[in-house]
A and B are shown apart, each in its own frame.
Chain A
């Protein structure tokens, strides 16, 4: 089943906003890498480098209170949806003022005010949870939708298939966004997945399946906006397969030895962030000077968040007994 493309291309201001968010992800990621490598923060780090535009172009189509469920390699989703830098950085550092009081860490970033209600550390597990959020919206009639983001590897887990079927049966306002970066940890898409593409799996569940170049801001925006429109209209779920690539391994320390050098070089040559910048400037949506000013602001904001995360105190040990249940316990 295919979905007709009806959404308009993003206007100039929206493209600039997509670029701002993509550049924020890119710069923030670079600083995490530097800070963790230097040993100033101890944390596992899953670089989203290469997938910035995908997340930014998707998340601008959502309202602030729409739900996002992402995974442990979801830094780009979290930033694109608006998780504030200071709380994010402090959480990476395990500090009391982190978004989760230092109890969740990078793999469980949660910030309901920006809609990021779940970040799971288990591949595929967020997919059925997104259905529940969408179910609540359907019962309440509040118009909120849920988007769940996952990789190509997650589509080989049972939870994916159970969840897509249930979403279709119940016509839930949910969007399944598969960010297909062609590698599930070290295993290539071809060696781990039995079908040609992910989008075709939607047909099994009677829902539209859309394949899109996730690194193309305009195409990604339109695909996401179409799915958002369908969900809000009560027409049910959509599976989007957004093709992309990752430049810096699955986790910090992974040298991508399993990716052919030519494949990596071609992907880096097509880096979506500078490509979007060139596109914006060529179309006259913003000048180089204006984009430089946006980047300067990002650099300053990230530097401030980093300093904050380092300076903030660790949580009190008493926190251990809090939030296990609704009342404090003796651990």
Chain B
């Protein structure tokens, strides 16, 4: 990886192309520079250990000091507990849990503590922490390094969950997550870490809980978040050649999700396709579909369709991995089925 602090250099009129790790680094650097209470800790984050396994914190321990940027032992409960305590004491810790599957070994701190401290204390204490974690299918990493588990966390009152779909949003949403006064789970894509995308302008921040209309259209709404948004945009472009007008709603924030934006779009198009990378069964798509059904029952022109990955653990073989994951053709087929 080549992520460096130069990622924060002023952008020209044409955006620079950067790796995903640099998109994260840009936000971390900006937040740390802006607010001395922002702390970073996690496995291998300091420069002595390489500045993060993806280089997303490269240079920060040198720039901001070892007191604020710390590598930790491989101790997820200790990492999350320290984040909870530091947040209660008024800091804005950003805890990195290297991979999303590893959240399962510190669920107690996230679900029983970070999410509920504010409520259970009657608002006397709060947990303005951010958890950065990485995951995703397509890198051949298999069953314990690739799961999208965001639905579990969206199901916990008190937590915010953010999943960016592109590099510029990544920077803008991460910066905002760090400054948010609630605990935020920020889900980064392993594959996007290694891919290039357009950098955000300096100081870019995007509000949480607000969806982005990534493409406007009038025939069908595709609603999702994370990487599949890019596939939805590609299919929308393809179908426009056939005279089909597809609107693409990028939720950006999974919890709390922008119900208003989704209902406005579907009220207009009368058709909804929901897409996410996580396995389809019991995924966030179910909640979104149910809400559309409850609110817009009489206005729908077709059954709501859901696209997600298959209901199996993430496999390793490239052939099985491809069969497991959602695809552009899944999205296309779902859109077409609503038009018939």
Contact = CB atoms under 8 A, between A and B. Distances in A.
Pairing of A with B: yes
Contacts of B83: 132
A76 to B, nearest CB: 20
B122 A102 contact: yes
Contact of B123 (A101, A102, A136): A101
B72 to A, nearest CB: 7
With most chain A CB atoms within 10 A of its CB, the pick from B80, B122, B182, B256 is B122
A134 B121 CA distance: 20
Interface string B94-125: 00000000000000110011000111111111
A118 B117 CA distance: 8
A118 B108 CA distance: 14
Contacts, number: 148
B269 interface: no
B216 interface: no
Interface stretch (A123-131, A181-189, A231-239): A123-131
A135 interface: yes
B90 interface: yes
Given A162-B78, A322-B123, A326-B181, A134 B70 contact: no
B120 A132 contact: no
Interface stretch (A19-27, A45-53, A103-111, A252-260): A103-111
A163 B77 CA distance: 8
Contact of A139 (B67, B80, B118, B160): B67
Contact of B67 (A118, A138, A166, A329): A138
B157 interface: yes
A98 B124 CA distance: 12
A329 B86 CA distance: 25
B89 interface: yes
Q: Which interface class (under 10, 10 to 19, 20 to 34, 35 or more) fits A?
A: 35 or more
B87 interface: yes
Contacts of A162: 73, 75-78, 81
Interface SS majority for chain B:
mixed
A169 interface: yes
Given A133-B86, A158-B77, A100 B120 contact: yes
A101 B85 contact: no
Contacts of B157: 324, 331
A128 B112 contact: no
Contacts of A127: 81
Contacts of A101: 122-123
A128 B81 contact: yes
A122 B108 CA distance: 8
Contact of A125 (B76, B108, B118, B123): B108
B124 A132 contact: no
Contacts of A117: 88-89, 125
B17 interface: no
Q: Which interface class (under 10, 10 to 19, 20 to 34, 35 or more) fits B?
A: 35 or more
Nearest to B90: A136
Contacts of A69: 85
Contacts of A98: 122
Given A104-B122, A136-B89, A170-B70, A159 B81 contact: yes
B120 A134 contact: no
A89 interface: no
Contact of B73 (A120, A166, A323): A166
Contacts of B68: 139
Nearest to A126: B81
Nearest to A164: B78
A99 B72 contact: no
Contacts of B118: 323-326
Given A128-B80, A162-B78, A104 B120 contact: yes
Given A128-B80, A132-B88, 12 more contacts: A117-B88, A117-B89, A129-B85, A129-B113, A135-B85, A135-B89, A138-B67, A159-B81, A166-B75, A323-B118, A326-B126, A326-B182
Interface of A: 67, 69, 98-104, 108, 110-112, 117-118, 120-122, 125, 127-139, 146, 158-159, 162-163, 165-166, 169-170, 322-326, 329, 331
9 contacts: A100-B120, A108-B120, A108-B121, A117-B125, A132-B84, A138-B67, A159-B78, A169-B73, A325-B182
A-B pairs with lowest CB-CB distance, top 5: A132-B85, A128-B81, A136-B89, A101-B122, A100-B122
